[in-house]
Structure 1
Amino acid sequence: MLIGVPKEIKVHEYRVGLTPAGVRELKAHGHEVIAQVSAGVGIGIADSAYTAAGASLVDTAAEIFARAEMVVKVKEPQAAECAMLREGQVLFTYLHLAPDPEQTKALVASGCVAIAYETVSDGRGGLPLLAPMSEVAGRMSIQAGAHAMEKAQGGNGVLLGGVPGVAPGDVVVIGGGVVGYNAARIAVGMGAKVTILDRSLPRLAWLDTAFDGRLTTLYSTVDALETAVTQADLVIGAVLVPGAAAPKLVTRAMLKEMKPGTVIVDVAIDQGGCFETSRATTHQNPTYVEEGIVHYCVANMPGGVARTSTFALTNATLPFVLALADKGYKRALLDDPNLREGLNVHLGQVTYKAVAEALGCEYQSTKDALKPWWAASDH
């Protein structure tokens, strides 16, 4: 198979879909790789490293999309990239379609086979290709929030860890999953007072044990959430419904009751955000103020630490890239029900139910999408 690796074009996005090590693995499996010139330069990977690994370099993304049988990226394709996709071409990347009807329409119109990192499962309720970036984003959320709390950045001027004789900052984490755990871990390490809310009692019990009582766990109700956020200096939105739009848990009315200068970091912004007042921002202009509250809503947070993020992500994606290349997408999807969960758009049809429900569009099950090949398989 011919695999293409374009340079990312989203604002301040420096990650890359394959590292030279990944290129070597694909070459060892008998595949060819073309990479766009400077695709990895933003994270310190020179073009020469790609050529040494066996990739061929091309000058433009247009050539990547025109030639490659499978395109491996990081962020969702931008409008110009969607326009270059062609029927039957495999796209393997983050998509986050539920809050993005325009991208969904463009992918449907292209006739491509779009497989989303964020909905590939592991059979145990986990999301193995989202988890590495959730770990990064959770940890980043605290350092980004702590910086935004500085008075010069519009915050309330509270030092997150406090000092002897002065109380530390009050951090509230909404959601106890991968993002929430990692955010809490950094916040506790910095000496903040931390409260984490979730609706899973087993998860709250696990968090209580994991942190050995160094944070407060709360069962999440509207009342508990409202009380917690009105006392907070920093609120982390760490809620995820796989593939679907994030629920708007913190309302504008709640914001009006919060302390002026409080910072909110909405890690769920890729899925539309879990604060009613959230709108996506970039690393170039990461914050805005609404209702006196500083909003940090960068939609590609891990891109801020692009080198670490690239290696963490590609460690997780490479086995799936190899499976898709070795077997072809049809056989790979039929053989692996967890990879099959990643299929979001197939030859003009939306094939992920939560996306179809969020956007009010027609849904085709993956079984029906793969029906011509399903009968010939053992499934």
Structure 2
Amino acid sequence: MILGCPKEIKKQEYRVGLTPHCVSAYSRRGHKVLVQKGAGEGSGFEDQEYAEAGARLVETAAEAWAADMVVKVKEPLPEEYRFFRRDLILYTYLHLAAAEELTREMLETKVKGIAYETIQTDDGHLPCLTPMSEIAGRLSVQEGAKYLEKTFGGRGVLLGGVPGVERGKVAILGGGVVGMNACKIAVGMGAEVTILDISTARLAYMDDIFQTQITTLVSSERNIEKIARESDVIIGAVLIPGAKAPRLIRREHLKLMKKGAVLVDVAVDQGGCFETTRATYHDDPVYLVDNVIHYCVANMPGAVARTSTLALTNATLNHGLLLADRGVEAACAESAPLRRGLNTLDGRCTHRGVAEAFGIAYTDPATLL
């Protein structure tokens, strides 16, 4: 099979879908790899490294997209839709439940779409989403702390406080991978941390891990209002795999919040869990609504591109090798996690969460394999 790795074109996206190590792994299995020149520079990988690993460097995105299987990081943008064609295998983050236009384009052109974020093991683990969730969770508190500074329009509160002065208050909505990693950093910075989740079992686990360092609350309307009133930073860390995130902080909650408090929405790729969320970029990451600062960068891990690329490709490589070796149909028939990652095939929507988001007919992928 011929694989293509185009340069990411999303604004300030510095990650890359394949490292030179990945190229070597595919090449050893007899596959050919086309890498667009400059694709890895943002993550610190030079063209020469790809060439030495066995890749053929190509000048244009069109040449990389002409491959049988395209490996990316972020979802295609409208200017890339022209590369879609029947039987193209697209292996990347797709987040289709929050992207109706992209979904319909992929269905119309019969692209075979495998979404990193919906590849799921039998125990519910999301192996290709987890490393980016870990990074985004850790970054979320860093960014929240930064924009809490007065020079950035925040309240002027130091999360860790100092002797004789109360600590800053951080609330985290969701106790999954993002929430766990946000909690680690917030606790490490000395903040007063509250975490909310609908699962009492998850809260019990978090309580066992962090013990008296955090407060756990069941996610309810009353408790959300409570943390809206009290918090300096609120991290939105809720994920429903493959589906839109629930809107937990509504516009009316902002009027309860302190002037200069910060909202960080890590779920922005899935539509966001704040009603007032809109996607931003690293060069203009925040905006103000009702005196509350919103940080809603849709590719947070891109800020630490080398770490993110290495973590991501560690997780995606083996699944990608199976797709390249066997083709989509055979690979998905063989691998239940990949089958769950299949979002579009032969013009049909094969992920229930995406279908429900747009009222599209759902097709069980098992019936197509």
TM-score (norm 2): 0.99
Q: Is the 8 A contact 2:193 2:214 kept in 1?
A: yes
Query: Are the equivalent residues in 2 in contact too, given 1:95–1:116 (CA < 8 A)?
Result: yes
1:84-99 superposed matches below 5 A:
84-99=83-98
Q: CA deviation at 1:83?
A: 1.7
- Residue in structure 1 matched with residue 327 of structure 2 by the alignment: 328
The aligned counterpart of 2:121 is 122
* Equivalent-residue separation in structure 2 for 1:21 and 1:308 (angstroms): 15
Q: Deviations over 1:216-243 (max 9, x none)?
A: 1111111011101210000000000110
Matched, 1:25 2:25: yes
Please say which of residues 220-229 and 112-121 is displaced more in the overlay: 220-229
Q: Secondary structure at the match of 2:4?
A: strand
* 1:374 corresponding residue in structure 2: none
User: Contact 2:174–2:197 (CA<8 Å) still a contact in 1?
Assistant: yes
Contact 1:82 1:106 in 2 (8 A): yes
Structure 1 residue runs of 5 or longer lacking an equivalent are 371-379
What amino acid sits opposite 2:199 in the alignment? S
1:367, distance to aligned residue in structure 2 (A): 1.8
Residue of structure 1 in register with 2:207 after alignment: 208
**Partners of 2:5 and 2:65 within 8 A in 1:** no
- Return the offset for 1:347: 1.8
Aligned to 2:293: 294
Tell me, what secondary structure is at the counterpart of 2:3? strand
Partner of residue 8, structure 2: 8
Q: Following the alignment from structure 2 to structure 1, what is the Cα–Cα distance between the partners of residues 281 and 42?
A: 17
Could you say which residue in structure 1 is the equivalent of 2:172? Answer: 173
CA contact (8 A) 1:180 1:238 kept: yes
Superposed CA RMSD: 0.8
- CA distance, structure 2, for counterparts of residue 312 and residue 121 of structure 1: 17
State the partner residue of 1:251: 250
* CA positional deviation for 1:212: 2.5
Equivalent residue, structure 1, for 2:189: 190
Listed one character per residue, the Cα deviations across residues 229-266 of structure 1 (whole Å, up to 9, x for unaligned) are: 21000000000011000000111111111111100000
The 5 A counterparts of 1:25-64 are 25-64=25-64
Write the deviation string for residues 36-80 of structure 1: whole angstroms up to 9, x where unpaired: 0000011111000000000000000111112x1100000001111
Question: Partners in 2 of 1:347 and 1:91 — Cα distance?
Answer: 13
Could you tell me the TM-score, scaled by structure 1's length?
Answer: 0.96
What is the one-letter code of the residue matched to 2:314? N
Distance 2:57 2:63 in 1: 10
Structure 2 match to 1:373 = none
Give the Å deviation of 1:369: 2.8
Shift of 1:118: 0.2
Match of 1:341 in 2: 340
The Cα of 1:284 is off from its aligned counterpart by 1.6
Per-residue CA deviations over 1:262-286 (Å, capped at 9, x if unaligned) read 0000000000000111111111210
Letter in structure 2 aligned against 1:358? A
Q: Which amino acid in the other structure matches residue 202 of structure 1?
A: A
Equivalence map 1:227-376=2 (5 Å): 227-370=226-369
Structure 2 counterpart of 1:367, one-letter code: A
Counterpart residue type for residue 65 of structure 2: F
**4+ runs deviating over 4 angstroms:** none
- State how 1:85-164 maps to structure 2 within 5 Å: 85-164=84-163
Contact 2:349–2:363, Cα closer than 8 Å, also in 1: yes
Tell me the distance in 2 between the aligned counterparts of 1:335 and 1:286: 42
Identity %: 55
Alpha-carbon distance in 2 for matches of 1:165, 1:290: 32
Q: Deviations over 1:357-376 (max 9, x none)?
A: 01112222212332xxxxxx
Contact 2:339 2:365 in 1 (8 A): yes
* SS of structure 2 residue aligned to 1:139: helix
Q: Is the 8 A contact 1:83 1:110 kept in 2?
A: no
Give the residue type in structure 2 aligned to 1:141.
S
Q: Helix, strand or coil: the match of 1:212?
A: helix
3-state SS of 2:98 partner? coil
Amino acid at match of 1:331: A
Q: CA separation in 2, counterparts of 1:215 and 1:296?
A: 23
Q: Quick check: 170-179 or 104-113, which moved more?
A: 104-113
SS at match of 2:45: coil
SS across alignment from 2:211 = coil
Distance 1:28 1:64 in 2: 20
Q: Which deviations, in whole Å up to 9, do the C-alpha atoms of 1:159-196 show, x marking residues without a partner?
A: 11111111111000000000000001000000000000
SS at 1:283's partner residue? coil
